[in-house]
């Protein structure tokens, strides 16, 4: 029986994680169950492998990161290339390509060689890693665009599914989600010489599992001095209602 590409990838990730466990851990009788050696797992192992992309140094910090991807063994299958770069390209001195489907990121401390993974599982797709540093303002964050699920149920996690903006500190710790589930990340910008981050998201208003022009967008305002503070939606609800009524009045007059 055929399985979807996304399902095969996730099965492969799980099986690779199980194989990396140390033999010095608890005896098998008391340890967690290993993933079943099913036909689907064996099929994934035959068709895919883990790819370790080029490490990227995080400016003057004591850390660097390495995107981890899954790529097909069949060289006739085109492997997509994603970019790991910054918000403002004019300030970006280091960027790298990410081959394949990125499902995790490793962080390494330069001074101690300690390492850890950003995610504790391989269920997400990381479609962008943003290490934005700007000369007039520096903040201790990394940003990620993450696709959490196959929201349109087409058998793959890609840019047509819902996506969310995540952030962590520059050591890859304290990961948390900024934008709501069920929305598509459209745009983001940082106002020059301020601590204001503006993020545009598109909700699935008509509940058709697609994010189209008909759904419209709204903006969220974040304070970069404290991203734990909930964002403000702009414009506010009262002004949004006023603008909606103005639009209806305007267009109804034109239609007469």
Report the pLDDT value the prediction gives residue 64, as an integer from 0 to 100. 93
pTM here is 0.78
Report the pLDDT value the prediction gives residue 81, as an integer from 0 to 100. 55
Report the pLDDT value the prediction gives residue 10, as an integer from 0 to 100. 45
Could you report the per-residue pLDDT of 112-123, keeping only the tens digit for each?
A: 989 999 999 999
Pairing verdict, β 142-147 and 125-130: antiparallel
Could you report the per-residue pLDDT of 121-177, keeping only the tens digit for each?
A: 999 999 999 876 554 446 688 999 999 999 999 999 999 999 999 999 989 999 999
Mean pLDDT by 10 residues, the chain (256 residues): 44 41 38 73 91 87 92 71 43 61 95 95 92 59 94 93 95 95 94 91 95 95 92 94 95 88
Report the pLDDT value the prediction gives residue 132, as an integer from 0 to 100. 62
> How do the domains of the chain map onto residue ranges?
5-249
Report the pLDDT value the prediction gives residue 138, as an integer from 0 to 100. 61
CA distance linking residue 131 with residue 57, whole number of Å? 10
């Amino acid at each position: 029986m055929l399985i979807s590409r996304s399902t095969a990838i996730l099965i492969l990730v799980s099986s690779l994680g199980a194989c990396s466990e140390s033999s010095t851990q608890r005896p098998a009788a008391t340890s967690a169950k290993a993933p079943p050696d099913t036909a689907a797992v064996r099929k994934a192992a035959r068709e895919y492998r883990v790819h370790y992309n080029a490490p990227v140094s995080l400016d003057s910090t004591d850390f660097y990161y390495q995107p981890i991807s899954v790529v097909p063994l069949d060289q006739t299958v085109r492997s997509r290339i994603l970019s790991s770069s910054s918000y403002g390209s004019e300030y970006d001195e280091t960027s790298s390509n990410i081959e394949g489907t990125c499902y995790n990121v490793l962080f390494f401390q330069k001074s101690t060689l300690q390492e850890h993974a950003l995610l504790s599982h391989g269920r997400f797709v990381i479609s962008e890693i943003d290490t934005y540093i700007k000369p007039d303002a520096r903040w201790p964050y990394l940003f990620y665009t993450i696709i959490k699920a196959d929201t349109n149920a087409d058998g793959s996690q890609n840019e047509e599914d819902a996506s969310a903006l995540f952030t962590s500190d520059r050591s890859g710790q304290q990961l948390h989600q900024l934008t709501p589930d069920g929305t598509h990340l459209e745009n983001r910008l940082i106002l020059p010489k301020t601590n204001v981050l503006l993020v545009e998201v598109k909700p699935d208003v008509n509940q058709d599992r697609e994010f189209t022009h008909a759904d419209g967008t709204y903006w969220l305002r974040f304070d970069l001095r404290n991203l734990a503070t909930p964002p403000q939606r702009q414009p506010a609800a009262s002004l949004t209602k006023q603008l909606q009524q103005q639009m209806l009045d305007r267009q109804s007059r034109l239609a007469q």
